[in-house]
Each structure stands twice: as structure tokens, then as C-alpha cells.
């Protein structure tokens, strides 16, 4: 396969006739040497797509290409791939070196070549000192490094990872994510990584392919997913804190906004909505796009603090405005308590605008 791209063309997976459709008409091109993340909630079809790439599942419809070669029906062992799973697939009766070199010994590579590759991958992953240890003598993080080394030592054209860090604690996950990004840069490998954790996806990906109910809903960089989500659903799925959704509707020549209370769209928002077709809109407001000012002021939405969550150098507040709770994230030096009266000032020039019926973002 070399440096060729990988392409899924209208790929569908249905497990039985009339049964569940796990993947629906996926069109996706993976660029050479790219680190692509398949992201979505449980049951979205992301692991099924990975298994189709690996040859563990056959598509019910559509085609898979590695470069110009159609891969439908080609078994996993002929695909030049390696996989790392959530459940670490290591042989407990072998030591670390024997686990890493198992596939190379099966291929009968010359011993000198085996040792050269062993030194390379164990040096990259910082596990050279563990070569004589048995698997049960390793920590969870060390075992996962061995599993990655076992996959890398084969020098595959495509490296597949299915939620490999999900069983580890948060600190170790962050460490291994950083190592994976470094490895990707050093090896120039094509990698596809599956996760349901958006923080994980956004921290490592060149691009993220978001899936929902078997469909590919958006493929973008992490920043574009956050600031330019193509649908309301993507805007709600992406982001560390829940996005605020308001309603807007044209009333005569003006637009009225409902955000716990109803009011005429302020000038920055009205200017953006001037070109919108009449009808209902949904406005998406990220929590950090709302500033909080103690007390009540005429240039914002009056409300009171409902809940507070301290997040280190930031605080997430729920602010009760009329019958709606607004999520706001502000610096930790703005310390308020439940019941405190505040004014929420929305940065209207940054608001995301969606068609309320289709849920699609409008390029306004």
C-alpha cells in the first residue's frame, strides 16, 4: 500500500437481512500518514468501520480501497495492518521481548533484523528495561506500551487502535496520548484511532470523523468541529461543557430571541440575522461565550447563580434566567455563590446559527 490513501466508498454493514444496520453509506478518504480519529457515542458504528478496515468484518455494500486495490474479501493477514485493542492482547506465558517479536519470528525474519526493530520500538516507547519481564509483572500503562510495540514492530502500512487507553486512569491516558502523537510524527505512519472520548480525539487527531447512528456526520479538524459544527447535534456532542441553545424567530422586521426570557435581537446578532430567511432558528452559544457580571445591568440577561462547579482555573456556573439554565465558564477569580444576582452578557458575534427544522448550520 505504501503511501497510498485508504478509501471507503458508500460502505454499509448490516449484520443480518432485515437486522440492525451498523454502518450506513460511509464515504471517507484517509490520507497517507494521517492520524484520523473515528469519534462517536456507543453504537455509532465507529468500531465496525475499524473492523472493516482490518478485514475482521466484510461490508454488506460498498467498497474498500487501499490505494487502487479493492480490499473486499481480502483477509486480515494480507492487509499489512496492525491493531491495538482496549483488551490488551498479550501472551501471559511469554516475556516482553517474546511478545513483541512473536509475529516477526512467525515470519522468520533474520534475527539481526528482529533485534534492530526491537531496539527501535522499545526505545521509542521507553520499555527497553522491561524486556525480560513477564506480562503480569507490568503495570497497565507498561502493558499498553508493550501492545503498541508489538503492533509497531511489524512496520504496518496501516495502524488501527480501538479505544486502547479507555481502561487506564486519566493521568496515564494523557501520557500515552502524548506518546502516540510523538510516535506518529516520528514514524510517519497512517493511523486510525477509535474513541468515544472527545477530549482524547481533539488532543491527538489530524482530522476527526464524527459518527452517529451508523452515519458519518462530519469530518473536520478539531477546531473546525468546535467552531464550525455542521449540525446542532455535532455542536452538542463536541465540547467539554454543554452548549446553550436559544430560539430565534422573525417578528415583523425584527428577530426575537428566547433564552429563558424573550427579547429583541441585539444589534450584533440582528446584523448577522439580516440575511436569514424567515422562520425559526436555533442559536448555539458556547459557555465561554457568556460573560458574567455581578449584579443586574441593562446590557445583558438578568439571572441568578443556580449551581457552581470549580474546574481548577475556571468555574462552570449554571445561571437561571427565567425558565432556562445557562451554562457559563469564567475564570476562577470570578467567585459567586448560589442565589447571587448576575448579568449574563452573550458574545453575540460568535453565536452559531442553525436552521431549526433541519438542524444544519447556516453560513451567516
Rounded distance, CA 211 to CA 26, Å? 9
pTM metric for this prediction: 0.90
Rounded distance, CA 151 to CA 358, Å? 43
Kindly list the structural domains of the chain, giving each domain's residue range(s) and its CATH number in brackets, ordered by start: 6-232 (3.40.50.300), 244-355 (2.40.50.140)
The residue behind cell 496501516 is 158
Residues 6+ away with beta carbon under 8 Å from 217: 210, 211, 230, 231, 233, 234
Single out the residue of 57, 53, 42, 15 nearest to residue 212, CA to CA: 42
Contact status, residue 248 vs residue 281, Cβ threshold 8 Å = yes
pLDDT on residue 151: 87
In the structure grid, which three cell numbers stand for residue 252, read together? 415583523
Single out the residue of 32, 83, 87 nearest to residue 54, CA to CA: 83
Give CA 50 to chain center in angstroms.
15
Count CB-CB contacts under 10 A for residue 251.
Answer: 12
Rounded distance, CA 186 to CA 174, Å? 19
Rounded distance, CA 135 to CA 13, Å? 36
Single out the residue of 48, 51, 39, 62 nearest to residue 20, CA to CA: 48
The residue behind cell 500500500 is 1
From first to last of its 364 residues, what are the pLDDT tens digits of the chain? 456 799 999 999 998 777 789 999 999 999 999 999 999 999 999 999 999 999 999 999 999 999 999 999 999 989 989 988 877 778 889 999 999 998 888 888 899 999 999 998 898 888 999 999 999 999 888 888 898 889 888 888 899 999 888 877 888 888 888 888 988 888 888 999 999 999 999 999 999 999 999 999 999 999 999 999 999 999 999 999 999 999 999 877 889 999 999 999 999 999 999 878 888 999 999 999 999 999 999 889 999 999 999 999 999 999 999 999 999 999 999 999 999 999 999 999 999 999 999 999 998 7
Looking at residue 93, the DSSP 8-state letter turns out to be T
Single out the residue of 240, 230, 248 nearest to residue 316, CA to CA: 240
Contact status, residue 66 vs residue 1, Cβ threshold 8 Å = yes
DSSP assignment of 34-90: -EEEEE-STTSSHHHHHHHHHTSS--SEEEEEETTEE-TT--GGGS-EEEEESS---
Contact status, residue 263 vs residue 256, Cβ threshold 8 Å = yes
DSSP assignment of 295-335: S--SSSEEEEEEEEEEETTEEEEEEEETTEEEEEEEETTS-
Amino acid at each position: 500500500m505504501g503511501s497510498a490513501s485508504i478509501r471507503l466508498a458508500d460502505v454499509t454493514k448490516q449484520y443480518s437481512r432485515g437486522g440492525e444496520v451498523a454502518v450506513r453509506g460511509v464515504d471517507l478518504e484517509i490520507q497517507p500518514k494521517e492520524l484520523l480519529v473515528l469519534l462517536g457515542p456507543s453504537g455509532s458504528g465507529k468500531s465496525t468501520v475499524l473492523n472493516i478496515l482490518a478485514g475482521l468484518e466484510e461490508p454488506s455494500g460498498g467498497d474498500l480501497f487501499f490505494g487502487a486495490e479493492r480490499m473486499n474479501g481480502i483477509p486480515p493477514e494480507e492487509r499489512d495492518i496492525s491493531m491495538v485493542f482496549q483488551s490488551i492482547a498479550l501472551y501471559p506465558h511469554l516475556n516482553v521481548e517474546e511478545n513483541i517479536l512473536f509475529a516477526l519470528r512467525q515470519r522468520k525474519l533474520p534475527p539481526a533484523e528482529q533485534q534492530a526493530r526491537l531496539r527501535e520500538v522499545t526505545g521509542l516507547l521507553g520499555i527497553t528495561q522491561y524486556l525480560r519481564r513477564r506480562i503480569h509483572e507490568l503495570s497497565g500503562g507498561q502493558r499498553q506500551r508493550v501492545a503498541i510495540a508489538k503492533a509497531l514492530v511489524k512496520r504496518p502500512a496501516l495502524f488501527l487502535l480501538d479505544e486502547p487507553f479507555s481502561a487506564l486512569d486519566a493521568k496515564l491516558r494523557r501520557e500515552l496520548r502524548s506518546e502516540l502523537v510523538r510516535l506518529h510524527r516520528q514514524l510517519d505512519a497512517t493511523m486510525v484511532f477509535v474513541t468515544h472520548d472527545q477530549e482524547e480525539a481533539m488532543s491527538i487527531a489530524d482530522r476527526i470523523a464524527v459518527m452517529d447512528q451508523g452515519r458519518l456526520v462530519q469530518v473536520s479538524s478539531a477546531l473546525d468541529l468546535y467552531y464550525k459544527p455542521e449540525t446542532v447535534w455535532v455542536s452538542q456532542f463536541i465540547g467539554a461543557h454543554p452548549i446553550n441553545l436559544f430560539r430565534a424567530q422573525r417578528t415583523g422586521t425584527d428577530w426575537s430571541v428566547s433564552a429563558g426570557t424573550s427579547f429583541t435581537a441585539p444589534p450584533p446578532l440582528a446584523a448577522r440575522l439580516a440575511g436569514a430567511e424567515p422562520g425559526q432558528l436555533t442559536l448555539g452559544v458556547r459557555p465561554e461565550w457568556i460573560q458574567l457580571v455581578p449584579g443586574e445591568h441593562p446590557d445583558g440577561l438578568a439571572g441568578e447563580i443556580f449551581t457552581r462547579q470549580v474546574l481548577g482555573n475556571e468555574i462552570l456556573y449554571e445561571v437561571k434566567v427565567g425558565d432556562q439554565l445557562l451554562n457559563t465558564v469564567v475564570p476562577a477569580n470570578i467567585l459567586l455563590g448560589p442565589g447571587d444576582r448576575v448579568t449574563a452578557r452573550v458574545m453575540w458575534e460568535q453565536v452559531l446559527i442553525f436552521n431549526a427544522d433541519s438542524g444544519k448550520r447556516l453560513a451567516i
